[in-house]
Structure formats: C-alpha cells, structure tokens
Structure 1
Amino acid sequence: MHTASPFPAEQGAGRKAMLWIVFAGFFMQALDTTIVNTALPSVALSLGEKPLDLKSVVVAYTLTMALLTPASGWLADKFGTRRVYFSAILIFTLGSMFCATAHTLPQLVIARVLQGIGGSMLLPVGRLAVLRNIPGEQYIAALAFVSVAGQVGPLLGPALGGWLVQNASWHWIFLINVPVGAVGLFAVRRYLPHDAASVVAPFDWVGCGLLSLCMVTFSLALENGVSSPWTALLVAVSVASALLYIPHARRRATPLFRLALFREPNFSVGLAGNLFCRIGSGAVPFLLPLLFQLQLGYSPFHSGLLLLPIAIAGMLAKRWVVPLVNRLGYDGFLQINTWIVGVSIASFAVMSPGWPLALSIVQLSVFGWANSMQFAAMNSITLKGLSHEDAGSGNSLFSMVQMLAIGLGVTIGGGLVSLFSVKLGVAAPAYRLAFLTMGLVTVLSGFIFRRLDAKPLERTQPEAVQAR
C-alpha cells in the first residue's frame, strides 16, 4: 500500500526515511502514554497488587519525562542529534523489555522510569532532527506529517492495550515496542544524517535539580496523603526548592528558565491554567478504565474500545478551535470551554451498571471534543506572547508543566478513590465522588483565565493556535 509523503519523490529516500524514523519514535512515545491504562487491572492481578496502587506506574513515567525534557535540546546540541536520538530509542526499548519482565511493582516502576528517560528525548530531539535537516519551505509539511503519530498513538493505545491483555497477556503492551525499537535503531544508523556536536553553554544542572526536587517531593506528598507524618516535610522541601531557584536564576547567566518568562502576564496565567485544568483531564484516562472494568464489568478490550470516542472527537474538534476563538476571544472561549470540560468529567459519575451505551458514547465524545479544543487554545495563548529569546525556554517549561499535571491528575484521582473507598466502605460511590471532585477542580480552574491580559490578546492571531 502506498503511503502519502509530504515531499516530492525526487528528494530521495533518505529524507523520507528520516521522517518515518521520527514518526516511529513519536508514535512509540504517544502510544505508551495510553496503552498502559487499559491494562492496569490485569497488571495488578498478575503482580498481586491493588489496581489503584498502580498509579505509580503511570506517574513514574510522566514525572520522569517532565524532569528530563528540558535537558533534551542541550544534549542534542552537545552530543549531536543522531547520537542522542539513537540513545533515546535504545533506552526506551530496554525500558520496555524490563517492564515486560518485571515480577514486582517496584521493578515495574523502575523500568517505567527507564522508559521515561528515553521517552523524554524522543519527541523533542526528533523534532529538532526534522528542523535541522528539512528545508524551511518544507518544514511545516514535515512537522504536520510527524505530528500525525501523536494523534494515532492515543487513538490506538486503549483498544490495542485491551486487545493484547485479553488475547495474550499484559506483558505484550511493552513487548510491542521491542521490534519497533530494533527497526528504529537500525534505521537511525542507516538514514539519520550525521551532525557534529557543537559548543554550547553549560547546562544548568543545579536549576534543573532544584525544580526536579520540587516536583518529585510535591508528588510524593500527594501520594502519601494528609495522614502521613512525612507529608509536611515533603511539602516544605518542595516549597523551599522552588524558592531557592529564584536567587539561583538571578545569579546565573544562563539559567534553566529565565525569570523574565513570568513578566509576560499571559504566560504565567496560561501556565497556571494549564496546570490546574490538566489535573482533571489527566485523571480521566486513568480512572475510566478502572471504572469500566472493576465497577461496570467490561472486558479490557471493551474498555479500550469505549475510550475511542474521546480520541476521535478530539481529532475532529481541532478544526473548530480557530473559528470559536475568533468569535469569543481567548478569554471568553477558555472560560466557557473549561466549564464544559469540567462538567463532562463530573458527568462520568452517573455511569453505573446498565447505563445506556449510547449515553456513554455521547459523554465521552463531549469530553474528547471540549478537552482537545481546551488544550489547543491553552497552548497557544500560553506561548504566543513570548519573545524569540524566551520561546525555547518557555516551551520547555510548558512541557514540564503538562507532564507534571498528568502525573498529579493520576495521583490525586487515584488517591480520592482510595480515600472515599475507605470512608464509605464500598468502591462504587468512591468513583462517583472522585469524578465529581475532579470535575469541580477543572471548573474552578476556569476562573484563572479571567486574569488574561486583554491587550496582548488583541495582538494574538487565533490562526496560530497550536494543535498540542
């Protein structure tokens, strides 16, 4: 079967092969963020753990990616894109093999961290390879081609994960990466152009360490809950490390993130809005498969298929973002759409045995539609006002916040179900209360967007809305 390429045939097989290499890497990373969720009940049964305790499997991956994404560009500049991308695929593939051979939850979490190390470099370094090897007039077409992997991965992930669990075993959700990774390693050596390492400014390892300590300790504090004696200490360490970054960034000539980033008002508001809004959205892909399988009695494959409306509606919704932003403005659109996202999350609380399938599909589609438009508008308004000097640094910080929010959503969502289950003695109402709470958090995050600065908004062109 012939697959369309964004480039004329005369440009040669090498450039096309390079695009497919980047496409495959992005696909593996995008697939792995969704394929695991459907399999969690089966993994828990196999490892002798409670399903909700496996939230650490998801959080370990997303948090590792959040911590290491800022270093990916510096590594590519210092050691060369080809070498770093090869290492990323190798580490990701090895991590997948170790995940498949894990016999305990701690072993699986460690393997997921290794996967996250490789995954943190796949997308940004792959995108950098395209930028450096594709002529400017063809760069947009190339990036659009590669970005399809980010849409196909979440579309196939839940159903594929459910099918593999039901017809083989949960180990295959990780083993499926091994042949793809092996082909990718060969292709990188064969087709990805050599690029010389360059002289770069020293990386801000201290600043990265402070922010990493802040995120890790805060996540651990949420994981431990308010009853743990360690929680207050972890929160104190988290706050202290964040505060220590401020004088560090002022003293250093090239800090990880310049403090000047936060002088752009819409960047600060957009960053805060993204964090709190994505907490609710991040909990949904984790909680829904558990609800479907543990409370509604669906099979893993059926559970995965039920998540398809979210991905399909999300893909179809992207074309509506620009017209709606043009009509309502960014501030009006985000305030209204955030409410729709929050209410749709809260609506999952009414799902119960015997709930009509048609209504479930409508609920999931509304969430997918609104959530996709929410991400696109939030991404655009957060980054659009940054100067050329701050664009790269701001995008890295924004990526960190995105991944952190997903991890926080899983931690908080799973923690709420555990807490309500203990208080009520049964799990069914615990899921309902968790969805209602996460929906309320999302609705309240809409008030953050009321602080958007109107003047920069007038200069922002809605046509620049980003898809991710």
Structure 2
Amino acid sequence: MPLAIKAFIVPLIVACAMFMESVDGNIIVTALPSMARDFGSDPVSLKVAITSYVIGLGVFIPICGWLADRFGARSVFRTAIVIFVAGSLMCAASHSLHMFTFARFLQGVGGAMMVPVGRIIIFRAVPKSEFVRAMNYLSLPAMLAPAVAPLLGGFITTYLHWRLIFFINVPVGVLGIYLTNRYIINTHEPHPGPLDWIGFMLSACGASLMLLGLSLIGSELASNRTAFEMCVTGALLLVLYVLHAQRAERPVLDLRLLRVPTFRASVLGGSMFRIGLGAVPFLLPLALQEGLGMSAFHSGAITCASAFGSMFMRSMTTNVLQRFGFRTVLIYNAAFSAIAIAAYGTFFPGTPVWLIWIVVLFGGFFPALQFTSLNSMIYAEIANADAGRATSLGSVVQQMSLGLGVTVGGIVLQIARALHGHAHATWADFWPAFVVVGLFSLGSIPITRELAPDAGDEIARGRAASA
C-alpha cells in the first residue's frame, strides 16, 4: 500500500473505532430515565451502569500495550471491536439493571483496548512526516462525539426506542473488523517482557470494588452493608498495591512518577477537577428531564451546547497558555469551571430555554480549557523512556476520577431527595449535587498552587495537546 494511502486509511479506521467508543460513552445519558422505567428502577440507580463502563475502561488500560506487543496490535484491536460490539448487543437485549451493568462493563473492556492500541497502530504504521496529520484525524471523534451523541440518543429515545441506540455500533464494528483485516499489519514486539500480574490484579480489583461499592450505595442491586464492605475491601487492595508498587521493578502503575511536580499536578490536581466534570454528563440530562420535564430529545439538544463551547475554547487554548502559563491558567480557570458547573443547579421550572442553553454553553467553555491544559502539561517533565508508564497511570486515574464523579453526584442527589422527602427527584434536589461536584474543581487549586510559576513553559510556548 502506498504510504500516502496508508497515512489516510489507517488513522481513519482507528478514528472510526474511537468515534464509536466516544459516542457510546456519551449517548446513553439522555436515555437514562427511559431505561430506568423499562428496568423498573430509579433513574439515579443507573449511575452504577455508567460507573461499570468507566471501570472496564480504566482498569484494563495499563495492560493494553503489553497485550499489543505480546499478541500483535491488529489482533488485539480487532478483538477489542468484537468485545465492544458484543457488549452493545447485550445492552440492547438487557431486561434488568444487573444484565445492563455487566454489558456496560464488557463494553468498557473493549473500549479500553481500542483507543490505546489504536494509537500504537498509528505510531507503527504511519510515517513520521505524516504523524501530525494522522493525529488530527484522531482529534475529530473527541470533538464531534459530545455534540452528536446527545442529539442522536435523545432523538432515538424520544421517537423510536432506546434499545436501538446500541445497534448503531454493529455496522460500524463489522466495517471496522473488515478494514482492520485488510489494511492493518499485525505488528508486535518479540520480547515485551513480563507483566506485573500481581500489581494488575490488586489495582484492578481494588479500584473496581471501591468504585462499584460507592455506586451501589442506595441502589436496589445490593444492600448498603454489602456496598460498604466492597468499598473497604477495595481500599485495602489498593493499599496492598501501593506497598507492592514500592518493591516491584516494573509495576503496572508506577506511582514513583508522582514525584514529578507537573505530572503530580496534572494527575492528582486533575483528578479533583475531573470528579466534578465527570458528574455533569450524568446529572445534567437527569435535571432537564426529571427536574424540568423535558423530553430526551430536547434534553439532548441542550446538553450538546457544552460541546460547542468546548470546541470554541480548544481553538483558543494555545494562545491562552502562551500568554498566562500553566500555573495561572489552572488556578484561576479551576474557579471559573467550578462556577460553571455549579450554575447548572440554578435551573428551575420556567427558566427560559435560551438561558439554559447559554449556561450549558459556558459549562463546556471553561472545563475544556482546564481539561486540555492538564492533558498538555502531563508530559512536561517526563522522559521519553517513561512516557508509556506515565500514560498508563494518567489514563487510569483520569477514568476513575470521571467514574467517581458520577458516583459522588448520584449520592448527593439521593441524599438531597431524601432530605426533601421526595419519592422521585425534582428540580430542587439537583442544586446541592451541582454545588458539591463544583467544589471538587476548587479542590484542585491547592495542588496546582505548588507548581513553580514557569512550570511547563516549554510546552506552553509550544502547541497544547488535544484533550
């Protein structure tokens, strides 16, 4: 195959898979109330289904590179598409929250392997002279999916049926498998080295149990006692992993990288911000539908406004960072992001739709700047040899933070509803949840204040990475 064609077709195949995964991660939030009615569940209880997807996505990311080296990038990428499509069909066939939660976890496992392995395929297949153009193709799913998914999911849910949402992935997945077999070479490393299986099991089981336990609090899937026991067990396993990582030569998640100031601020400070950001896609559609009585389609037409705000800010991020630097941007913009997130709690019946749309637009504006700045700074002081380990640790913490945001937002919403004595969530129950998750964004400021004033200036003067 000519290099020019390969530089186009290979990134396009990976971009389509990433678009499928990104759309699926954003599309179901508009359908949660309809799903809850069919499952005979409370819409807030479906936070466990969202969390299970994030868990599947997060815990398998660290071993994707090793699997690609051991079994071949094409084989792992193709298997990931199969797993993702199988999970989609299980979601469509689910008639209980238990089955739907497992199906979402399976989807997350497939998505975890698709994205990082897809990047490896591009790195190995595309000439360096065409690498920037290839990465531009990959940025399109991240930009388009948040705008397309709420509208598409809302339309299907309102005028057709929510189960049809998951059939969208079938033709895309079948085409992806065909193109993968035809155009992608099965590259792999001859000696990838041993995998830290003990560390993987401790970290994966610990994070899974703790997040699932938190998301099951107040749910009909398990008693609160069982949920708390899962949380405690998960926390103990994570403590054991920390002890293991201090002794292991090549731990699956290298916590020693947190000694690097810019990496620590990006990962730990970013995790606080992402808890608030992760709650919004779950809370906002519920607030619009359950609190304000909108249809799924009208809700999706409003929530997609944040994607347009995000797109606009992405075009300005480079100039903002060049002028103010990482430290200043991350401190002040964290406050602006907290206000933007908390502002969602001001909606009440009778609020003009145009005003809601503008608030949601700005709700995507400031968080996009924070998200892109954090992702850009993460490699500022990381050596090339440590880039893979830094990516694994940063990606896992990022996904778990987003999942924790859904859990925290759902718990606060349940508490507010109980205090107000409401059998079902009303508009008055949502503002405490938005305020609390907004405060998490403020919680990132003490960590980023520790940065030197010129931290990451070499990158800030260059080109900011895409979120």
For this structure pair, what is the TM-score category when the shorter chain's length is used for normalisation?
A: over 0.9
Is 1:135 the counterpart of 2:131? The answer is no
Contact residue 51 and residue 212 of structure 2 kept, 8 A: no
2:447 aligned partner:
448
- For the Cα contact (< 8 Å) 2:64–2:113, is it kept in 1? yes
Determine the structure 2 residue equivalent to 1:145. 137
Aligned counterpart, 2:428: 429
Looking at structure 1, the residues matched to 188 and 404 of structure 2 have their Cα atoms a distance apart, in angstroms, of 39
In the alignment, what sits opposite 2:258? 262
> Which range moves more in the overlay, 331-340 or 256-265?
256-265
SS at match of 2:162: coil
Aligned with 1:61 (options 49, 53, 59)? 53
Q: 1:158 aligns with which of 132, 150, 155?
A: 150
Q: Decide whether the 8 Å contact of 2:48 with 2:216 is kept in 1.
A: no
**TM-score (ref. length: structure 2):** 0.94
How far apart are the structure 2 equivalents of 1:347 and 1:404? 24
Is 1:326 the counterpart of 2:318? The answer is: no
Residue equivalent to 2:353: 357
* SS class of match (1:383): coil
Q: 1:232 to 1:22 in 2, by over 3 A?
A: closer
Bigger CA drift: 280-289 or 449-458? 449-458
Query: What's the CA shift for 1:327?
Result: 2.2
Cα distance in 2 for partners of 1:455, 1:43 equals 49
Q: Does structure 2 conserve the Cα–Cα contact (< 8 Å) formed by 1:343 and 1:443?
A: no
Does structure 2 conserve the Cα–Cα contact (< 8 Å) formed by 1:64 and 1:116?
A: yes
Decide which moves more: 256-265 or 140-149. 256-265
C-alpha distance in structure 2 between counterparts of 1:319 and 1:164, whole Å: 31
The answer to which of 456-465 and 201-210 deviates more is 456-465
Query: Counterparts of 1:280 and 1:258 in 2: how far apart (Å)?
Result: 25
Q: Deviations over 1:256-286 (max 9, x none)?
A: 1334312212212221111111111111111
Is the aligned partner of 1:114 residue 2:136? no
Stretches of structure 1 that go unaligned for 5 or more consecutive residues are 1-8
What TM-score does the superposition give when structure 1 sets the normalisation length? 0.94
Whole-angstrom distance in 2 between the partners of 1:93 and 1:283 = 26
Give, in whole Å, the separation in 1 of the partners of 2:216 and 2:46: 14
The 3-state SS of whatever aligns with 1:451 is: coil
How many Å separate the matches in 1 of 2:229 and 2:30?
A: 34
Q: 1:184 aligns with which of 151, 173, 176?
A: 176
Mapping for residues 197-276 of structure 1, pairs under 5 Å: 198-225=190-217, 228-230=224-226, 233-276=229-272
The answer to whether structure 1 residue 125 and structure 2 residue 117 are counterparts is yes
Displacement, 1:197?
5.2
Tell me how far apart the structure 2 counterparts of residues 234 and 26 of structure 1 sit (CA, whole Å): 32
> How far apart, in 2, do the equivalents of 1:439 and 1:246 lie?
29
**8 Å CA contact 1:66, 1:404 repeated in 2:** yes
Query: In the aligned structure 1, how far is the partner of 2:28 from the partner of 2:56?
Result: 16
Structure 2 unmatched ranges of 5 or more: none
CA–CA distance in 1 between the matches of 2:394 and 2:250? Answer: 18
The aligned amino acid for 2:281 is P
Paired residues for 1:390-405 under 5 Å: 390-405=386-401
Contact 2:7 2:130 in 1 (8 A): no
Using the TM superposition, give the Cα deviation of residue 234 of structure 1 relative to its aligned residue in structure 2, in angstroms: 4.1
Residues 416 and 10 from structure 1, CA distance in 2 versus in 1: closer, same or farther, beyond 3 angstroms?
same
Query: Size of the alignment, in residue pairs?
Result: 460
Task: Tell me if 1:76 matches 2:68.
Answer: yes
Q: Deviations over 1:406-438 (max 9, x none)?
A: 111111111111111011113332111111221
Are residue 35 (structure 1) and residue 27 (structure 2) matched? yes
